Structure 1
Amino acid sequence: MLFPLSPLSIFLRHTKQTSSPNLSQTQTNMSELSQLVPKDRRPEALGDFRVLPDELICALLEDLSPRDLAHLSSVSSVMYILCNEEPLWMTQCLKSVKGPIEYRSSWKKTTLYQLHVPDKLVECCGKSLHFDGFNSLFLYKRFYRCFTTLNAFSADGDNVEKKKDLSLNEFRNEYDGRKPVLITELAETWPARSTWTSEQLLHNFGDTKFKISQRSSGKITMKFKDYVSYMNMQHDEDPLYIFDDKFGEAAPSLLKDYSVPHLFQEDFFDVLDRDERPPFRWLIIGPERSGASWHVDPALTSAWNTLLCGRKRWALYPPGRVPLGVTVHVSEEDGDVNIDTPSSLQWWLDIYPMLADQDKPIECTQLPGETIYVPSGWWHCVLNLETTIAVTQNFVNSKNFEFVCLDMAPGHRHKGVCRAGLLAIDAECSEDTKLNATSANDKLNYPDMHRREKRLRVSKYGENPFVDDSDENATNGLITSNKNLQIDEFSYDIDFLATFLEAERDHYISIWSPSNCIGQREMRQWLHKLWVEKPGIRDLIWKGACLALNADKWSECMEVICTYHNLPTPLDDDELPVGTGSNPVYLTEGHVIKIYVEEGLESSIHGLGTEVLFLKIF
């Protein structure tokens, strides 16, 4: 990349090309230089705020209202620059948006339009002022991310296996629940291969509203014609993209354009009605530079993703190996997992080039017509190298069912370990962890996993990437450097992970994590439906129910109750507790037995009607 020469570099080149100047000549040159170099306006323009880094000032500005930003921008030249940054106004717009977005060539104009500011005042926004004497590496890097192109993007190569004509047996034996694979020709017969282009979708669904990638607490939608207009005009560092799990309801005909590939048709969520099951399929459309930052799919489900248009770059890490540049926070109260991660583009530009060979992810470039399989628990990050259109679905099958049940069980420790590996283990259980890890060595799937005392981490605003994991502010709670744990390997084995379940947890009265894809009652209903409708896999369902519902604990209680009262034990179809209330309910021959676990008899008796209604349904 070429950079313009500064006045200082011009002066230095000039003095090198001339004979050694005398003192008076040097003083004259320095005087000329002082006239060429603009005075740094930052200290005077920011006053006491000058001690704060630009990224922190920009973060503080996000909490102000548009009116406050307008007032503050008139205080000084530097405040004018900071208060007119496009990313700031993008945040302002998405924070206050009500209804569909109609992009107006810039985020500031779009925000003011949303606030019904008169057009004549909005037009003044196009007449920007320019100032010399202010330089910011933070703003420059952000500007670069907004305007860089990826047509010449290069990486170290593709090391995700690529397969053609993959049989179901080969997939289940070699890849399902084990490792990613890129599969060709699964979608060759789909109408979507020819009809899912920007032009065709614009013609057929121009006025259809689709959900946009969530960048705020509210629901954001855009008409497809407005989104296409946005894609053509935008220069955002992290562009919005369509990520719609309701596209089948918004445009039902799109569901006829593709079918679930034969490799992924086993899905245990199929026993639920469409309005009962959690989100599972998404239409994904995004421009160049957009993408999905590092994450693990919800509930540790597996996924397939088929690309219809454009090129995507994928990076993946095995379960338990947190990508460098990412920090995981685990709530000790309910097990909710939050992730601090740079945008996909920022990670590829700033973090990826710094990785040692042993830290590089598994990666590949996905082309139109190709389908990638992402196993349960795998970290992945996606960067759109050009405008892309794709469809993806998550599913639960026999290979990941127990992990899904474990992920939705109450408690925090096991969830953190499932997502972050040994980084989520606190010092109190270090000795037990050593023993468990040692006994699980023969079950390790990924021997290349290892822990480091320091991890590369990018803070929210991107400027100080090297952080010691022992810093409590950087790790927030359970995530520690684990300097007491001399363990070099992590086992993503269900028996090993289950050892981190809290012994005193109780599915019926424990706090339910908000990150779970379904609620407690829906979880109980789902497992009961599986038990009734899929008797051939009851051994597997029982294992999952023991992880999520303490089914073995309640079964022992039932045996004691039935023995004491001389009652018949539940039949095979009724071995799992039924009902969606706050207490486990069992059916025996001629009897309904309710075990009061929440606030005693007086409180629980009011919920009896719920269980009775549930039993009538079944």
Structure 2
Amino acid sequence: MKILILLTFLPSFLLASIEDGGWTTEEKDVVPQKEKCNIERHDAKELTQKEFLKRYAYSEPVIIYNVENEEFKKLTEKQEMLSTWHDVDVTLNSANTYSYTRVPTTFGNYIEEKMKPQNLEMLGNETLYLFGDIDQKTWKPLLEKYNQPEWQLPGHSAALSFGIAGAGTGVPFHFHGPGFAEVIHGSKRWFLYPYEERPNWNPDKTTLEWYTYDYPKLSREELPLECEMKPGELIYFPDKWWHATLNIQSSVFISTFLSP
């Protein structure tokens, strides 16, 4: 596996000033981090289908940058979404590995009342966020404006899953089939391990708690593949790769799940 390591340091206030489409995050809530990326990166304009299949599709994650989704980005700015989707019913999931809890509400109520930065004292099953449980028919006018990844896995179909979540939230380690995930607004950090390298974590604890207390104790050999993703970037993860996510600031994101 090829490894690319970039290591720099950014103060948190710079992250808070990133253009975010109205999805503002107070400086105190931005998750501090070292700007480290050891996942291979590839320009979308140069990645062919043939190279994707040969190098990444069945073997390792890749982050693809220079992805173009400007119309979708405009449609998912905060005020635009509130004016269009305010009264639409949505279902919130708990932010633990197995997502036991489902809470019905409206999109406007979630954005204006329930979407909050992660508290370190809260368990994953007490933390609610919007991801996955949206009615495909209701949200079709928005989802059809999204330019899906052009790279294909032969014999697989694609399903979209849209989400919005506050700073410090995320999903602890889990695995499933292959897919793509793109950041539209904000920023999100990904952590990944191959299937045979099962990470050690508590499925009811949040990614933020794992990142704050457990991650610093990992030996060099135990560290995951990881990278922060920003708007215009998407990650591809192969089948059955363990992965966890952490929203560095309030984020809008969309995943393309692939199934045979």
Q: Give the TM bin, normalised by the shorter chain.
A: 0.7 to 0.9
The question of 1:180 aligning with 2:180 is answered: no
Secondary structure at 1:157's aligned position in 2? Answer: strand
Q: Give the C-alpha shift of residue 219 in structure 1.
A: 3.8
Contact 2:170 2:245 (8 Å CA) reproduced: yes
The question of 1:201 aligning with 2:81 is answered: yes
Structure with more of its chain in strand, by fraction: 2
Q: Give the C-alpha shift of residue 225 in structure 1.
A: 0.9
| Counterpart position of 2:40 | 161
Count, aligned residues: 225
247 and 149 in structure 1: CA distance in 2 versus 1, 3 angstrom threshold: farther
Secondary structure at 1:365's aligned position in 2? Answer: strand
| Counterpart position of 1:354 | 217
| Counterpart position of 1:308 | 184
Secondary structure at 2:151's aligned position in 1? Answer: helix
| Counterpart position of 2:240 | 377
| Counterpart position of 2:258 | 395
| Counterpart position of 1:422 | none
* TM-score (structure 1 length as normaliser): 0.34
In 2: Cα distance, 1:294 partner to 1:282 partner: 18
- The one-letter amino acid paired with 2:128 is L
Secondary structure at 1:291's aligned position in 2? Answer: coil
Q: Give the C-alpha shift of residue 393 in structure 1.
A: 1.7
The question of 1:257 aligning with 2:145 is answered: yes
Contact 2:31 2:168 (8 Å CA) reproduced: no
Q: Give the C-alpha shift of residue 248 in structure 1.
A: 2.2
In 2: Cα distance, 1:267 partner to 1:310 partner: 33
Unaligned runs of 5+ in 1: 1-146, 271-279, 327-339, 398-618
In 2: Cα distance, 1:149 partner to 1:293 partner: 22
- The one-letter amino acid paired with 1:393 is T
- The one-letter amino acid paired with 2:141 is S
380 and 181 in structure 1: CA distance in 2 versus 1, 3 angstrom threshold: same
Q: Give the C-alpha shift of residue 149 in structure 1.
A: 4.1
177 and 388 in structure 1: CA distance in 2 versus 1, 3 angstrom threshold: same
In 2: Cα distance, 1:265 partner to 1:357 partner: 33
In 2: Cα distance, 1:316 partner to 1:344 partner: 12
In 1: Cα distance, 2:182 partner to 2:50 partner: 21
Contact 2:53 2:153 (8 Å CA) reproduced: no
177 and 150 in structure 1: CA distance in 2 versus 1, 3 angstrom threshold: farther
354 and 150 in structure 1: CA distance in 2 versus 1, 3 angstrom threshold: farther
| Counterpart position of 2:19 | none
Contact 2:162 2:255 (8 Å CA) reproduced: yes
217 and 347 in structure 1: CA distance in 2 versus 1, 3 angstrom threshold: closer
- The one-letter amino acid paired with 1:224 is F
- The one-letter amino acid paired with 1:386 is Q
214 and 159 in structure 1: CA distance in 2 versus 1, 3 angstrom threshold: same
Secondary structure at 2:243's aligned position in 1? Answer: strand
Q: Give the C-alpha shift of residue 200 in structure 1.
A: 1.4
315 and 220 in structure 1: CA distance in 2 versus 1, 3 angstrom threshold: same
| Counterpart position of 1:16 | none
The question of 1:295 aligning with 2:136 is answered: no
The question of 1:192 aligning with 2:80 is answered: no
Secondary structure at 2:249's aligned position in 1? Answer: coil
Secondary structure at 1:172's aligned position in 2? Answer: helix
In 2: Cα distance, 1:179 partner to 1:171 partner: 10
The partner residue of 2:194 within 312, 318, 331 is 318
1:365-397 Cα deviation digits (max 9, x unpaired): 000111100111100000001111111121135
RMSD: 2.5
Secondary structure at 1:293's aligned position in 2? Answer: coil
296 and 247 in structure 1: CA distance in 2 versus 1, 3 angstrom threshold: same
Secondary structure at 2:34's aligned position in 1? Answer: coil
Secondary structure at 2:36's aligned position in 1? Answer: coil
- The one-letter amino acid paired with 1:161 is E
Secondary structure at 1:296's aligned position in 2? Answer: coil
Contact 1:245 1:281 (8 Å CA) reproduced: no
Contact 1:312 1:385 (8 Å CA) reproduced: yes
In 2: Cα distance, 1:322 partner to 1:376 partner: 14
In 2: Cα distance, 1:374 partner to 1:235 partner: 25
Contact 2:117 2:169 (8 Å CA) reproduced: no
Q: Give the C-alpha shift of residue 257 in structure 1.
A: 1.5
Unaligned runs of 5+ in 2: 1-25
Secondary structure at 2:136's aligned position in 1? Answer: helix
In 1: Cα distance, 2:115 partner to 2:102 partner: 23
Contact 1:205 1:251 (8 Å CA) reproduced: no
Structure with more of its chain in helix, by fraction: 1
Contact 2:179 2:256 (8 Å CA) reproduced: yes
171 and 206 in structure 1: CA distance in 2 versus 1, 3 angstrom threshold: same
217 and 150 in structure 1: CA distance in 2 versus 1, 3 angstrom threshold: closer
377 and 283 in structure 1: CA distance in 2 versus 1, 3 angstrom threshold: same
Equivalent pairs: percent with the same residue?
24
In 2: Cα distance, 1:341 partner to 1:361 partner: 20
Contact 1:209 1:250 (8 Å CA) reproduced: no
